[in-house]
Amino acid sequence: MTAVVDDRVLGAKTKWKERGLGYLMLLPALVIFAVFIFYPLIHNVYLGFYRSPPFPGLPSRYVGFDQYKDVLGSQEFFDSLKTTVLFAVMTVPTGIALGLGLAVLAHQQLRGIGIYRTFFSSTVATSVAVAAVIFGTLLSPQVGLLPWLGITTQPPILQNTTWALPAVAGVTVWQTLGLTFILMSAGLQSVPDDLLEAARVDGAGAWSRFWHVTLPMLSPTVFFAVVIGSIFAFQTFGQIDLLTQGGPLKKTNVLTYFVYTELNSDPGKAAVLAVALFLLTLLLALAQIRLLERRVSYER
């Protein structure tokens, strides 16, 4: 009886030691999250309760939730949210489809395929500023690629209310293509060859093997790419600032750029927008995890 009690005491002590070690290992990450995420979020929630003065030098005025109601119920916020969602729809599926297609091509056992893999993944090493400069030059109405090909638009693409957002979305897809390609290539490496060989013996063609074997086994990678790509789309700023500055006529005024433009003129409004952007991104990620994870197969 005494031995059983001693074992229980030792087991409880070991369990608490393991838990303590786990919390100790998590502590640095929790401190970083607290300083750089939770504190700014709480501070922005606080600032949202104060309306900025119309003239510099005057104190901010406490207005409670009125500013939240005014900003989140405005047509300007709705238009910016609509632009952000449209931008995400343009970039995420296109980027994943292109990354998957290039990864499938680069997965072939061909001579010199390593050169193509390096080429396809090279955009991951290209900064947003460099990508914006490259495409800003290519789309320039004076020295760009389109005028050289005899294609002109009036007004120019980046100043065109119809084509400005698709053009910036194209730059974003190109800039994130390297990361998507690397993710999909890593996923393809983990597909068991014996399953593909078994499907081949059963008479399945190339498309059938891809659709019924490769894609289901790749579903965790695709799911991860969808969640990460959506978060990136909702946080896009650099290419918008460098190429269009939210224009023309605010057709590329995504939420992150909307926060930026309001930051100097109306900090209280910018704080409300920042809180809304954080919550929208969080809800989007949670919704995708809840809805898409059911269709993901983790079996190997």
Q: Per residue in 23-73, pLDDT tens?
A: 899 999 999 989 988 899 999 999 999 988 777 777 788 888 999 999 999
Q: Per residue in 62-93, pLDDT tens?
A: 888 999 999 999 999 999 999 999 999 999 99
Has residue 2 got a pLDDT over 70?
Answer: no
The model's pTM is 0.84
Q: Phi and psi for 101 in degrees, rounded to 5?
A: -60, -45
pLDDT of residue 205: 86
149 or 243: whose pLDDT is higher?
243
Q: Per residue in 185-227, pLDDT tens?
A: 988 888 888 888 888 888 888 888 888 888 888 888 888 898 8
pLDDT of residue 108: 80
Q: Per residue in 151-170, pLDDT tens?
A: 777 788 888 898 899 999 99
pLDDT of residue 166: 93
Highest mean pLDDT among 74-78, 146-150, 246-250: 74-78
Has residue 96 got a pLDDT over 60?
Answer: yes
pLDDT of residue 125: 81
pLDDT of residue 296: 63
Q: How confident is the model at residue 241 (pLDDT cuts 50, 70, 90)?
A: very high
Residue 69: count of CB within 10 angstroms of its CB: 12
- Give the C-alpha distances (Å, rounded to integers) separating 118 from 100, 112, 181, 182, 292: 15, 11, 10, 10, 31
Q: Give dist(CA 155, CA 122) in Å, integer.
A: 32
H or E segment at 61? Answer: strand 61-62
pLDDT of residue 258: 94
Q: Phi and psi for 50 in degrees, rounded to 5?
A: -120, 125
Share of the chain above pLDDT 70, in %: 93
Share of the chain above pLDDT 90, in %: 34
Q: Give dist(CA 153, CA 209) in Å, integer.
A: 44
- Give the C-alpha distances (Å, rounded to integers) separating 131 from 26, 99, 138, 140, 233: 36, 18, 11, 14, 16
pLDDT of residue 240: 92
Please compute the mean of the pLDDT values over residues 235-256 and round it to a whole number: 91
The residues, ordered by sequence, that sit 6+ positions from 223 with a Cβ below 8 Å of its Cβ are 288, 292, 293, 295, 296
Q: What is the mean pLDDT of the chain?
A: 86
Q: How confident is the model at residue 294 (pLDDT cuts 50, 70, 90)?
A: low
